Amino acid sequence: MGSHFIKYILVKYPGYKVINFDKLTYAGNLENLREVENNPQYKFVQGDICDREAVNKVVEENKIDAIVNYAAESHVDRSIMDPDVFLRTEILGSFNLLEATKNFNLKKMVQVSTDEVYGSIEEGSFTEDSSFSPNSPYAAAKAGGDHLCRAYFVTYKTPIVVSHSCNFYGTNQFPEKLIPFFITNLIEGKKVPLYGDGKNVREWIHTSDHCRAIDVLLHQAEAGNVYNIGTGKELKNIEITKLILSEMEMGEEMIEPVKDRPGHDRRYSIDCSKLENDFGWKAEKDFETGLKETIAWYKNNPDWWQPLKNGEHAEYFKKQYLERK
Ligand code: TDX
């Protein structure tokens, strides 16, 4: 998601200098930024937000005036297998960025967070005033980082805005998340493992709409505010699976019902009227169109995802598969 935002900002604000500070974990990929690597307004610095000194150095040396925190370990299944790195990145990493924002008097920090911190909701939608009730180690770690953001604003008036977004989809997404995982499995002729009864509900936003929302928060939102970023486009996993199958002209025999994810949240839903009322922001990308484009991108770019799925990460996918059998 961070690479989409960098490309978006460089086009929209040609005078801005963008520093991409990235640890390049398994999910980071400089290929995604190949088209801007020679742009004089863009610079890549490899580093970890958990490393306080490295964060301070990059902020000071580049006279950074704003931070957008896209850095996260983001995959729920991995957080169930191995939560340690999630806690460090989401909590300690956010803490280091908040410290830098405070100590170097930055103008703004935008925390990119998730609707998962609110937990599961059977009916209705969470607002920005809903309390946190995270259910996975990933969600609890994100909630920890977000609580720190709140505390820094209340205690130090650190200029922080927190965003809670629904599920992203689009191109260049590591092929472990539901949509790219299912698309790439089907391209490879493999079945798609649907957890539990397949009726868990998620709300979906295209990467382009998310970029527009973060742009608004970075430039217009008042410090101390929290905003939900959603689309209202709620779908059961089985519905998405059928849409993908139909677009790829394949049948439902490709669905493999598997054991449920432990602690699997039933439904996420957020009310994002605050974002619309304050700034007139609305999602623009129609889900069916965005999904078609995403499928076409994965079909046309096997060189991007095949090495990720079948190379050094093959072990992860195998382990996941065995867990769910
Ligand atoms: O193989 C699968 N089968 C399946 O049924 C996978 C990978 C997922 N699922 C289900 C689980 C979820 O109900 O699909 C749904 C979506 O799963 P993920 O893509 O893993 O996303 P989710 O668990 O909803 O979390 C995501 O949304 C919030 C992101 O991974 C987070 O980073 C984000 O903050």
100 closest CA partner among 147, 53, 161, 151: 53
The helix/strand/coil state of 163 is: strand
Residue 33, pLDDT > 80, answer: yes
Q: Among 77, 164, 167, which is best to mutate for testing ligand 1, by the most ligand atoms less than 8 A from CB?
A: 167
pLDDT in tens, 242-271: 999 999 999 999 999 999 999 999 999 999
Considering only CA atoms, which residue is closest to atom 31 of ligand 1?
74
Asked if 31 and 304 count as a contact pair (C-beta separation under 8 A), the reply is yes
The ligand 1 atom at the shortest distance from the C-alpha of residue 240 is 14
Start-to-end Cα distance in the chain: 30
The ligand 1 atom at the shortest distance from the C-alpha of residue 194 is 5
Residue 312, pLDDT > 80, answer: no
Considering only CA atoms, which residue is closest to atom 32 of ligand 1?
74
The ligand 1 atom at the shortest distance from the C-alpha of residue 265 is 13
Work out the number of other CB atoms within 10 angstroms of the CB of residue 129.
8
117 closest CA partner among 85, 90, 157: 90
Tokens of 203: 């709300």
Residue range 19-26: average pLDDT? Answer: 93
Task: State the distance from the centre of ligand 1 to the C-alpha of 210, rounded, in angstroms.
Answer: 17
Contact residues of ligand 1, CB 6 A cut-off: 74-76, 114, 116, 167, 177-178, 181, 193-195, 200, 202, 237, 261
Task: State the distance from the centre of ligand 1 to the C-alpha of 20, rounded, in angstroms.
Answer: 26
pLDDT of residue 317: 84
Query: Cβ-count burial of 6 within 10 angstroms (0-12 exposed, 13-18 middle, 19+ buried)?
Result: buried
Rounded to whole angstroms, the Cα distance separating 180 from 176 reads: 7
Rounded to whole angstroms, the Cα distance separating 277 from 267 reads: 25
pLDDT in tens, 72-87: 999 999 999 999 999 9
CA dihedral sign, ordered 122, 126, 130, 133: positive
Task: State the distance from the centre of ligand 1 to the C-alpha of 59, rounded, in angstroms.
Answer: 33
The ligand 1 atom at the shortest distance from the C-alpha of residue 177 is 19
Considering only CA atoms, which residue is closest to atom 3 of ligand 1?
194
The ligand 1 atom at the shortest distance from the C-alpha of residue 136 is 23
Portion of the chain with pLDDT greater than 70, in percent: 100
Task: State the distance from the centre of ligand 1 to the C-alpha of 46, rounded, in angstroms.
Answer: 28
Q: Among 114, 163, 195, 199, which is best to mutate for testing ligand 1, by the most ligand atoms less than 8 A from CB?
A: 195
pLDDT in tens, 55-108: 999 999 999 999 999 999 999 999 999 999 999 999 999 999 999 999 999 999
Catalytic residues: 115-116, 138
